[in-house]
Amino acid sequence: MSALQVSQLSVNYEKTPVLWDINFAIPQGKLVGIIGPNGAGKSTLMKAVIGLITPISGKVDFFTKSLKQMRNSIAYVPQRESVDWDFPVTILDLVVMGSYGSLPLFKRPGKQEYLKAENYLKKVGLFELKDRQISQLSGGQQQRAFIARALMQDAQIYFLDEPFAGIDHSSEKIIIDILKKLTKENKTIFVVHHDLNTVESYYEWVILLNMRLIGCGETKEVFTNKNLQSAYGKNFSLFDDAIKLSKKISTGLD
């Protein structure tokens, strides 16, 4: 049984197609990188899968169930810029919001939720900052707070939209460690990812996109030069040269 099965998914913005006939299936417990050039539709794919955008066609199943049935088992971490960081909430409040989806209407989060949130803040190393207003965090800390909110949701499947964009090294390391640990608990995780240098060390699986699906499978099989060439086109050859050069220099070869 696949954790996520997408069949014949197509998305249009106005009348321009953004994603075209996407089909793939991902087994449970994988850390999956969604890779592709700018404008390839990586975020769009994620949004269409979790129902933030209505596709013009296609079917999405989570463990053979529909999104509606599985809503409480899905956690989404939006891009950091999508929220108002001046909003009057503390870091602890932000994390507690992760419990709102499973609380019934009219019920306010209680002691139990707050204790749980504090626990997750410890995991991402923000416990000491829990009472600060969210704008007082650095970019990496804000992203970690978002991760803690997602953990709070106790989901089966996690979707993260560019969690590593513009954050510091130690935050990136904390986050990737948490994600890897989650896959050991058989959670399935999708990450929109930009930095091609780290793909091989981070992800077991990749989905390679450029409006259509270029490849989906284990990283060592899909993350190949040939596939990257067809995803990134001419732009990629320059990147490839630069990477080779940097590898040569950093290992001291001439």
Partner 1 sequence: MESPLNFFFDPILRAPTLGSMLMCLTASLVGVIVFLRKRSLLGESLSHASYPGVILGVVIAGYIGLSDQNEAVLSLLVLIGGFFSALLGLYSINFLENNLKIKADSALCVILSTFFGVGITLASFVQFNYTNLYRQVQSYLYGQAATMTDINVIIYGILTIFVIVTILLFLKEIQVLTFDRIFSKTIGIPIVVIDMIFFILIVLAVIIGIRSVGVVLMSAMFIAPASAARQYTNSFSKMFIIAGFFGLLCGFLGNYLSVEISQYLAHIYPNERVSIPTGPLIVLIASLVCFWSLLFAPRQGLLFRIVRIAKFKLQTLEENVLKTLWRRGEPLTLKDIQAYQNGNIFTMWWILNLLQKRKFIAKSSHTYYLTDIGKIVAAKIVRLHRLWEVYLANYLEIGVEKVHKSAEEMEHVLTPELEKELTAFLQDPVLDPHHQPIPAK
> Binding residues for partner 1, per CB under 8 A?
50-52, 71-72, 74-76, 78, 82-84, 87-90, 93, 97, 100-101, 103, 105-109, 132-133, 149, 153, 168-170
The Cα-based distances of 28 to 4, 21, 38, 156, 246 in angstroms read 8, 23, 28, 9, 35
CB of 28 to partner 1, least distance (A): 20
Cβ-based nearer residue to partner 1, 144 or 149: 149
CB of 171 to partner 1, least distance (A): 10
**Which among 72, 10, 15 is positioned nearest to 41, based on CA atoms?**
10
Cβ-based nearer residue to partner 1, 79 or 227: 79
Q: Which residue has the tokens 């060439």?
A: 229
Q: At what angle do helices 139-152 and 111-123 cross, to 10 degrees?
A: 130
Is 121 buried (19+), middle (13-18) or exposed (0-12) by CB count in 10 A?
Answer: buried
Cβ-based nearer residue to partner 1, 168 or 200: 168
Cβ-based nearer residue to partner 1, 81 or 185: 81
CB of 233 to partner 1, least distance (A): 28
CB of 187 to partner 1, least distance (A): 16
A 10 A CB-CB count for 186 gives: 11
Cβ-based nearer residue to partner 1, 107 or 248: 107
CB of 89 to partner 1, least distance (A): 6
Cβ-based nearer residue to partner 1, 35 or 157: 157
Are the CB atoms for 163 and 131 separated by under 8 Å? no
The set of long-range contacts for 178-183, using a CB threshold of 8 Å and a minimum separation of 24, is: 178/123, 178/124, 178/147, 178/151, 179/31, 180/31, 182/158, 183/29, 183/30, 183/31
